[in-house]
Chain A
Amino acid sequence: MDSMKTIAVIFGGRTTEHDVSIVTAIASIIKPLEVQGGYQIEPVYIAKDGSWYWDSKLKDIATFQSGEIEDFMRKAPKVQLSIDNGLTLIKSSQFAGRKQYKKIDVVFPAMHGTHGEDGELMGLLEMANVPYIGCGVAASAIAMDKVLAKQVTTSAGIASTPWVWFNAIDLERDLKGTLATIATLQYPLFVKPAHLGSSIGITKVDSKDQLMNALEVAIHYDNRVIVEQAVNNLVEVTLPIIGNDDPIPAMLEQPLLKSEDFFDFETKYMQGGKKGGKKGGSSKQGAQGYSQIPADLPKDVYDDAIKTGLEVYRVTGCAGIARVDMLIDIKTKKVMFNEINPMPGGLYSHNWNKAGMSNVDLVDKLVQLAEERWQKSQKITTAFSTSYLKQF
């Protein structure tokens, strides 16, 4: 048992995607890691108020579904972290003032959205010098800022649909100017909060009279907004990728939507991915239950999308795992970058399964990639001797 690697799976968080994170962690990460048999799993839950908890009970989805979590949080001690050249979880054993310590070998962040997927957690883990799964600080921050991601990919020559961006304060101070900027685009448009995932706060705008409402929704969720021109003859595709220096693509996946539809949060997670489907339907399937793998595209377009996805992964500095969403004008065969998701919901394991990688192999590979990246980082020189202090 002692020779087993200890993996902390961190999930939950102060984010609108808190619940999605719980499902990703328990169903798609903890379960296969346990089945693999070679790891000791320590679930670490970040509550909506930002408190950290660590307990084996948190591996059980029923704890969250039954509401038992509220009672647990009232009684359980909160977790402290020691980042003394490695990460150690510390909590009170609630027995004679003793404390319980657990040294962590690898961290598996299962965070979606703000304060977790956006690089904040990765910064903490970098400070602790502990291997962790997924993109680093910079790539996570770029990926989780749709504006920044577009700026980086555009500068690398990767095509996007026409887009503009502004801060919430711009709308308040210069509404006319902001609307004039947006007017350079052709309807229909998509108005999106810059930092949120899972399609939260996104509105499709077909005409000018719907625009203000969409902008208000977006700034309700974020202080930065991106407005994109809709793509004609649209085929939306997504490409899960894993790897560090030599990324491996899974299969190009095509959500099966009509051109006028898009996946909002409700469609993605609450209706089994079926637009107009029964509310409260198969939430386990999500968008993943309503897509075509591999995408039904001409070979040249398919190959071009794979190439574009890998290029986006490279130029944004992704590592470990990510998912690149792309938009294709099927008539002109133009492939355009849409956004990156540095921690795909459920790891997009359904796609990896189709690509020939089982859930266990996937998490195993991700742990291996995290360790490889960490070992490589240890070879980088971080100290430099100078006489600066003596001269001061």
Chain B
Amino acid sequence: MIKRIVSFFGPSYPKTLTYMLQSTEYEVGPYLAWYWRTNNFGEVAHRRTLAKTLRAKLLSAGLSIGMLIQIVIAIIILIQGIKLQRGSDIYFGIALLLSYPVVWAHIIVIPLTIARIFIVKPKERHAVKASAKVFEQHEAVKIAVAGSYGKTTMKELLLTVLSEGKNVAATPANKNVAISHAHFAKKLSGSEDIVIIEYGEGAPGDVARFAKTTKPTIGIITGLAPAHLDKYKTLDSAAKDILSLADYLQDKNVYINSESEPLKKYKKSQFHSYSQQSVLGWKIDNIKIAISGMTFVMSKDADRISLSTNLIGRHLIGSLALCVALAKQFGCSNEDIIAGVAKTSPFEHRMQPREIAGGYIIDDTYNGNLEGVRAGLQLLQELTARRKVYVTPGLVDQGKEAKNVHQEMGKLIAKSNPNKVVLMKNSVTSWICDGLSSAGYTGEIVIEKHPLDFYTNINQIIAAGDIMLLQNDWTDNYK
């Protein structure tokens, strides 16, 4: 109790509020929701610390100064009230003195909202408008990548494979919203053969807007899964948004992942599909999977290409095969394609194997959707190990579907049948347990109350012959 009060009135409180704002990307709604469910502000920052950006420094200083002014005014009124023996002043002074943490936690959103409406948004609109001209005038093949999952991976694979024979540019990392596209457009030289743009979907209408600005000539839809349902509400609404890329392209040059079950019902006959079996007339076989990478063979008529990649996970074969098929269409040589595929390696925190204490962890902590969970569990099942451990906190932003999604997740884990399941304790843990139980899982289940302790001590619990898959990781603003 004392700790909670100290955390509320303590000197680090302004910094904590700034951290909460920063962690929620200065979005007022999620920030206030987090604020009101927090009991102890001393325990907010577990996973990360405040990044000392200019905006964070200004906000933190503003909060500190504002609070200090309120405290000084409260003390003056209080002293005045005591001197003049005026009860109303005393009560008002006390109220001012006690309320400053709550008052300033809310006052701070006002300048943020004003700045967003009057400065950030107009600036962004202007930049996006300018980028639309750049994209329109650029003569490169423009590939847009959209989907609930696998977008960044698809984009990076295209970039790696096609770069062996072509001049290729792609949006950086997972920067996939309008303003990121605008920044990307500024950096284009105009001489690129191929430009790859990732579309992030966050709310209805996003993908259609991105397509209108970036004017793609090819569209790739990587999959559909329950994600961002807090905004989309239903999977159908998310599908409509993602499929608006195909609408823009008038259903021509659209490549769709046929391994995504929920996407199947939206597939039109004009679309091209890709999978780990085939793509654009190429057949894929001899797939071999190990912790160190995968090999497979693609053949079409007399052409036969043997490929090897450092990537792991059967679900990636289809994406790689599409890259190869498109590279062939763009005129790349087999040698360049083989070299490009050989350069593909796991991306950070996405199916990334690492050796620790003789055992292996597969870091898939950036994976935040059910399809990714399915792919990871399939990989875990396929790999050979003395002991298999599956670790997850569950998925975020699942909206009303959260219970069903996590029960389904529990069933998928049970089907993969690891020796041990470690669940980070939070609001969805019991649903995962329900799924595990209903599917008859008989292995060991550990509920971990201190995720950070667990992650930092993995070297103490792993040994040769162990494979531990870590899927998803919740930041401090999710409970």
Residues of chain A having any CB pair with chain B under 8 Å: 31-32, 35, 350, 352-361
Min CB distance A159 to B, Å, is 31
B457/A352 in contact, CB under 8 A: no
- In the A-B complex, the 7 residue pairs with the smallest Cβ-Cβ separation, listed nearest first, are A358-B463, A353-B357, A353-B358, A359-B460, A35-B460, A35-B457, A356-B465
Q: Which residues of A contact B465 (CB under 8 A)?
A: 356
Q: Which residues of A contact B457 (CB under 8 A)?
A: 31, 35
B462 interface contact, C-beta 8 A: yes
Q: Which residues of A contact B463 (CB under 8 A)?
A: 352-358, 361
Q: Which residues of A contact B464 (CB under 8 A)?
A: 353-356
Complex Cα–Cα for A354 and B459 (A)? 12
Min CB distance B357 to A, Å, is 4
B364 interface contact, C-beta 8 A: no
- Tell me what chain A mostly uses at the interface: helix, strand, loop, or mixed: helix
**Taking CB as reference atom, which chain A residue is nearest B454?**
A35
Complex Cα–Cα for A353 and B460 (A)? 9
Complex Cα–Cα for A49 and B461 (A)? 36
B386/A32 in contact, CB under 8 A: no
| Interface of chain B residues 422 through 479 with chain A (CB within 8 A) | 453, 457, 459-466
Q: Which residues of B contact A353 (CB under 8 A)?
A: 357-359, 462-464
B358/A32 in contact, CB under 8 A: no
Q: Which residues of B contact A32 (CB under 8 A)?
A: 460
B459/A359 in contact, CB under 8 A: yes
Q: List 9 A-B contacts (CB under 8 A).
A: A31-B460, A35-B460, A352-B463, A353-B358, A353-B359, A353-B464, A354-B464, A359-B459, A359-B461
Count CB-based A-B contacts (< 8 Å).
42
**Taking CB as reference atom, which chain B residue is nearest A355?**
B464
Number of interface residues of B (CB under 8 A): 14
Complex Cα–Cα for A354 and B466 (A)? 10
Complex Cα–Cα for A355 and B460 (A)? 14
Q: Which residues of B contact A358 (CB under 8 A)?
A: 357, 359, 460-463, 466
Min CB distance A346 to B, Å, is 13
A35/B357 in contact, CB under 8 A: no
Min CB distance A228 to B, Å, is 33
Whether A359 contacts B386 in the complex (CB less than 8 A), given A35-B457, A35-B461, A353-B464, comes out as no
Q: Which residues of A contact B462 (CB under 8 A)?
A: 353, 358
Candidate in B357, B358, B459, B465 with the most chain A CB atoms within 10 angstroms: B358
Q: Which residues of B contact A350 (CB under 8 A)?
A: 357
Whether A360 contacts B460 in the complex (CB less than 8 A), given A353-B357, A353-B358, comes out as yes
Q: Which residues of A contact B459 (CB under 8 A)?
A: 359
Candidate in A354, A358, A359, A361 with the most chain B CB atoms within 10 angstroms: A358
Q: Which residues of B contact A359 (CB under 8 A)?
A: 357, 459-461
Complex Cα–Cα for A69 and B329 (A)? 70
Q: Which residues of B contact A354 (CB under 8 A)?
A: 358, 463-464
Min CB distance A375 to B, Å, is 26
B460/A356 in contact, CB under 8 A: no
Complex Cα–Cα for A287 and B463 (A)? 20
Candidate in B358, B457, B460 with the most chain A CB atoms within 10 angstroms: B460
Complex Cα–Cα for A204 and B464 (A)? 36
Q: Which residues of A contact B460 (CB under 8 A)?
A: 31-32, 35, 358-360
Complex Cα–Cα for A357 and B459 (A)? 11
Complex Cα–Cα for A32 and B357 (A)? 13
Min CB distance B457 to A, Å, is 5
Complex Cα–Cα for A146 and B460 (A)? 33
**Taking CB as reference atom, which chain A residue is nearest B356?**
A353
Complex Cα–Cα for A13 and B54 (A)? 52
The proximity string for B residues 370-391 relative to A, scoring 1 for CB distances below 8 Å and 0 otherwise, is 0000000000000000100000
Min CB distance A25 to B, Å, is 15
Complex Cα–Cα for A355 and B465 (A)? 8
Given contacts A35-B461, A350-B357, A358-B460, could you give 7 more A-B pairs where the C-beta distance is less than 8 Å?
Answer: A31-B460, A353-B463, A354-B463, A358-B357, A358-B359, A358-B461, A360-B461
The proximity string for B residues 132-164 relative to A, scoring 1 for CB distances below 8 Å and 0 otherwise, is 000000000000000000000000000000000
Complex Cα–Cα for A357 and B464 (A)? 7
